[in-house]
Chain A
Amino acid sequence: MLLSLILLPFIGSLLPLLAAHKGRTVCSWLTAAPPACALLLLLSTAPAVFQGELLTIRWDWIPALGLNIGFRLDGLAFLFALLILAIGLLVILYGHYYLSAKDSHGRFFSLLLLFMGAMMGVVTADNLLLMVVFWELTSLSSFLLIGFWGHRRDARRGARMALTVTGGGGLALLAGVMVIGHIVGSFELSDVLAAGDILREHHLYPVALVLVLLGVFTKSAQFPFHFWLPHAMSAPTPVSAYLHSATMVKAGVFLLARLYPALSGTELWFIMLSLVGLSTMTLGAVVALFKHDLKGLLAYSTISHLGLIVLLFGLDTQLAVVAALFHTVNHATFKASLFMSAGIVDHETGSRDIRLLSGLRHYMPITAALGLIAAAAMAGVPLMNGFLSTEMFLGEAIEQRVLGGWSWLIPAVAVFAKVFSVAYALRFIHSVFFGPKPGPLPKQPHEPPFFMRAPIVILVVLCLAVGMLPALIVGPLLSVAAASTTQTILPQYTLEIWHGFNLPLALSVLAMVLGVFLYSQRHRLFNLWNRLPPLSAPDVFEFILHSILVQGSRRITKLLESGHPQNYLLILFLFTIALAGAALLQLPSLHGGVSMTAIDFPSLAIAMTMIVAALGTAILHRNRLTALLFLSVVGLGVALVFARFSAPDLVLTQLSVEVVSIILLMLILFLLPRQNQRDSSVQRLWRDAVVAGVGGLSLGILTFAILTRPLDSISKFFLAESVSGGGGTNVVNVVLVDFRGFDTFGEITVLAIAAIGIFGLLDGMRLFNPRHLGHHYAKDRHPMLLSVLNMPLLPLALMVSLYIFMRGHNLPGGGFIAGLITAIALILQYLTNGLNWTNERLNDNFHPLVASGVMIAGLTAMGSWFFGMPLLTTAHTHVHLPVLGEIPLATAMVFDLGVYLTVVGATLVILENLGKLKPFTSQPTTEP
């Protein structure tokens, strides 16, 4: 059940995409169904959770890394899951009305549910590594949601910034989690929470704490990482309401609560959290007042409230934890409803600029009333939920002694921040909904549809209900959540509206009076604010990112990746020479004792031919065609060497590959200048010659040393097992399609990908005409003699190819060689008769061939599953057919057929597309 709770949103994220074409209403209903079911499931666990039970499930994933799939549902997780699902549902309802017909409903809701699932994962994960995985997923889905309106520059920039900051924080968190896991010896939450004392004593504790807090501060937009949140407001308002006020930014807060027993209780914890929380709270509250954008105001207000919650975790009492959780819930309710109200204003008037808006209560009285209540809750007016938690906060702030003699600073600054928060709440309400009727607006304002307002009504009712009957509505939830956070028995506390006349109340009243005064003086403040130099966070952020990170990494890349193959090869060779040389120097003697075979003249002649050809290639490399001819001699020589030392399979492969490569190179040479430039100085040539010579010599010595030593290789096993295990006598082929079939499958997949990749690169490419100056081309495109002579070759080649394929399992041959032969025979038709002629007779779309090859091989490999055998198990038998005689049949041959088809398809795709590649002037210049 716990699993379905987490999986439901993930599975559900597919539904909106599938239903996108069925219309908006169906799409929205289908989106709402999974979270609704999950919410019901969650509520059904309530009795157990409220009893203090801990629901867990667990599977091993990668036990060797300590990474397991495990989920837990305790009070804290329950509280957050409730917030995520319930507010999520309201946001879906709101989003249905908010999105315009132009926006893709399916994509939006799909991303929203993806985020919801990730968030559920974060709050219920029982393994810290697993939690980090979900944590990253929230950053990613948030990135996609902020950038939902990808056509807008501010959306793209905001999304990038959010991803960079929260993603970077996620990396820090991962490192922190690794350190915690190192100290505790386990990533399981239960182990970590029980190991608080070990953690705090450990000398790596500060490292772990700072890294984890970096994750928390970036995610929860704490100073100095707060700047991404206001720019994330370029997201659609439902996203702002959901992610950037109610849930995702609370992930940091959640982590503080989750790891509270493990990490809290040290000087470092209190100092860091209280100072960061305090400065964030103040900064957010002050800046919020000066924001003219409704959502900007709310964004800074969110930053301020998050600072308040973080500060509460930094106060050294358990009641502060209760207050923190309480305020988390309250903030989620009133801030989500405020965002939705702001969204309605934006939606119905076309503007979010407070300076333009005014007197909207005349047009949308109900929205105005709802906004008023929510803003009052935000300002901490009595009878609202915000009042209770801020009272608790002020109480704790007065009580704490975190900063020693400077502890009075915290309540003082808190009151200061609260003055501003009252002022900006007033501004939100008074400037927008009250006052004279507005000037001309982009749209004529009016009330939104009832159901668009419904989520706000629900949330506002909750604000009031919690504010008036706190003990009844949230009391039990809060106590069970707080108990599972601190993992201890909580001290007595009461949730009541009236605590009598005390210092917190006095401070509250003072803050309100000062706040109203501040608001009345706002125009002077705005004048003051306008004198500050303008600073755009995205500009600064991108400047830093660009000048330091991008330029820096470019410089490093340039250093390592010079673009000159000579340099790479030089480093590679020198390193290899050093490695091999070091190993060779330690040998007592180079000759290992195995006697050498006698040298015969033909072998010597072949060797000398190859040496001369290799030298020729190197010396004449600037004349590309000549160099290529020499290279072909080397290739042929290698084939002869294979024949001399009894490797018939290799001979066949080498010969076919040789032919295909010469065609490929001829195709490319056409696009290059005939003469290569001289691009190395004489000194450099000498240097390279020496390095190459030493490299070749070392390799030769190394080979000599290895071959003269007795070697016990694994080939005996394959020789012995080939017939019994693979049903074939050609060991090479049996190894390819059976013993190492998985490797082969990987290789043909790579081949297929390479073919498609090359197609993608070449398709539609236009190149400049290579100027072959002074060269006169013949007029006859397709000499008849060549065509006529080549035609009978095709059936012959196909027959040979079939023959090579069929016998491959027992005698030299197989799918790869047969595939190359077929491909060569077909390419030859292109060569002699041209593209048009051949494509008229041959379906030139070879992609299905490649795909079917990989699929046949894959399905054959998986076929063994149906017989309860592991992947790639083969069966083999012998059948007797008329004419052909005794035929050995093995399922490996079907696999080989897949190899064959892939090779044919891939080779043809590559060569044919290279052939199609035409310069701008499609004809080579002919002599008039």
Chain B
Amino acid sequence: MLEIVVPLSLVIYALSALLTILRMALGPDIPDRILTLDALYVNAIALIILFGVYLGSTAFFEAALLIAMMGFVGTTAVCKYLLRGNIIE
């Protein structure tokens, strides 16, 4: 079962990554684009974990952990910039 599901999920997540970049290109607004980046980070977590499952290796899980933990920092910084201009005040 996993032999089919994991590659299939990989393809689906890759497809969604393509769609997010399409959204980023289309915009139309800055918040749309920020959300797109955030969504792409989430997609990336899924891709990395699924790829690890597919290979049967745990070597990449820390990468997923790192994205989960810090991926939103970029989003936060951009949002803060939009809200207040100066992000460290």
Contacts and interface: CB of A to CB of B under 8 A. Distances in A.
Interface in B28-69: 30, 33-34, 36-37, 40-41, 44, 47-48, 51, 59-60, 62-63, 65-67, 69
Contact of A781 (B11, B70, B77, B89): B89
Contacts of B25: 612, 616
A666 interface: yes
Contacts of B67: 655
A32 to B, nearest CB: 58
Given A630-B24, A834-B89, A609 B62 contact: no
Contacts of A616: 24-25
Given A651-B60, A659-B74, A609 B21 contact: yes
Given A636-B40, A796-B69, A605 B87 contact: no
Contacts of A812: 59, 62
B5 interface: no
B37 A831 contact: no
A772 B48 CA distance: 40
B69 A640 contact: no
A525 to B, nearest CB: 75
Interface string A663-691: 10011011000000000000000000000
A821 B70 contact: yes
Interface in A631-668: 632-633, 636, 639-640, 643-644, 646, 648, 651-652, 655-656, 658-659, 662-663, 666-667
A800 B69 contact: yes
A70 B30 CA distance: 71
A835 B63 CA distance: 30
A317 B46 CA distance: 95
Contacts of A632: 37, 74
Interface in A568-619: 601-602, 604-606, 608-609, 612-613, 616
Contacts of A651: 48, 60, 63
Interface string A716-754: 000000000000000000000000000000000000000
B69 A797 contact: yes
A806 to B, nearest CB: 12
A28 interface: no
Contact of B77 (A640, A662, A793, A914): A662
A517 interface: no
A830 interface: yes
A2 interface: no
A422 interface: no
Contact of A629 (B18, B34, B76, B85): B34
Interface in A184-206: none
A831 B83 CA distance: 12
A666 B66 contact: no
Given A606-B17, A835-B88, A824 B70 contact: yes
B60 A648 contact: yes
B63 A648 contact: yes
Interface in B1-38: 10-11, 13-15, 17-18, 20-22, 24-25, 27, 30, 33-34, 36-37
Interface in A787-801: 793, 796-797, 800
B88 A915 contact: yes
A702 B45 CA distance: 32
A643 B48 contact: yes
A636 B36 CA distance: 13
Interface string B72-89: 011011101101111111
A813 interface: yes
A629 B33 contact: yes
Interface string A219-241: 00000000000000000000000
Contact of A626 (B33, B63, B84): B33
B4 to A, nearest CB: 14
Contacts of A612: 21-22, 25
B interface, how many residues as a size bin?
Answer: 35 or more
Given A602-B11, A655-B70, A924 B24 contact: no
A497 interface: no
Contact of A662 (B22, B24, B47, B78): B78
A828 interface: yes
A800 B88 contact: no
Nearest to B59: A648
Greatest chain B CB density within 10 A among A625, A663, A780, A916 is at: A663
A633 B89 CA distance: 27
B87 A602 contact: no
Contacts of B37: 629, 632-633
Contacts of B21: 608-609, 612-613, 633
Contact of A636 (B14, B41, B59): B41
Given A659-B70, A834-B88, A626 B62 contact: no
A659 B37 CA distance: 12
B70 A831 contact: no
A722 B75 CA distance: 39
B62 to A, nearest CB: 6
A264 interface: no
A786 B44 contact: no
A832 interface: yes
B59 A663 contact: no
A627 to B, nearest CB: 10
Contact of A656 (B10, B66, B86): B66
A602 B89 contact: no
Contacts of A669: 81
A662 B2 CA distance: 37
Contacts of B88: 667, 827, 830-831, 834-835, 911-912, 914-916
Nearest to A820: B70
Contacts of B86: 670, 915, 918, 924
Contact of A602 (B41, B47, B74): B47
B17 A605 contact: yes
Contact of B30 (A625, A636, A796, A800): A625
Contacts of B41: 636
Given A648-B63, A915-B87, A659 B73 contact: yes
A526 interface: no
A837 B76 CA distance: 18
A83 interface: no
A924 B78 contact: no
A610 to B, nearest CB: 9
A812 B65 CA distance: 13
Nearest to A664: B77
A636 B21 CA distance: 12
A608 B15 CA distance: 11
B84 A666 contact: no
A652 B27 CA distance: 29
Contacts of B13: 602
Sorted nearest first, the 8 A-B pairs with minimum C-beta distance are A915-B88, A605-B14, A602-B14, A662-B74, A651-B63, A924-B85, A778-B83, A609-B21
Given A656-B70, A778-B83, A915-B86, 16 more contacts: A602-B10, A605-B17, A609-B20, A625-B30, A628-B78, A632-B37, A640-B47, A643-B48, A652-B66, A659-B73, A663-B74, A666-B87, A783-B83, A800-B69, A834-B88, A835-B89
24 contacts: A602-B10, A602-B13, A605-B14, A608-B21, A609-B20, A609-B40, A616-B25, A625-B78, A629-B33, A633-B24, A636-B44, A639-B63, A648-B63, A651-B60, A652-B63, A658-B74, A663-B77, A666-B87, A670-B87, A777-B84, A786-B76, A812-B62, A835-B88, A835-B89
Interface of A: 601-602, 604-606, 608-609, 612-613, 616, 625-626, 628-630, 632-633, 636, 639-640, 643-644, 646, 648, 651-652, 655-656, 658-659, 662-663, 666-667, 669-670, 772, 775, 777-778, 780-781, 783, 786, 793, 796-797, 800, 804, 811-813, 821, 824, 827-828, 830-832, 834-835, 911-912, 914-916, 918, 924
Interface of B: 10-11, 13-15, 17-18, 20-22, 24-25, 27, 30, 33-34, 36-37, 40-41, 44, 47-48, 51, 59-60, 62-63, 65-67, 69-71, 73-74, 76-78, 80-81, 83-89
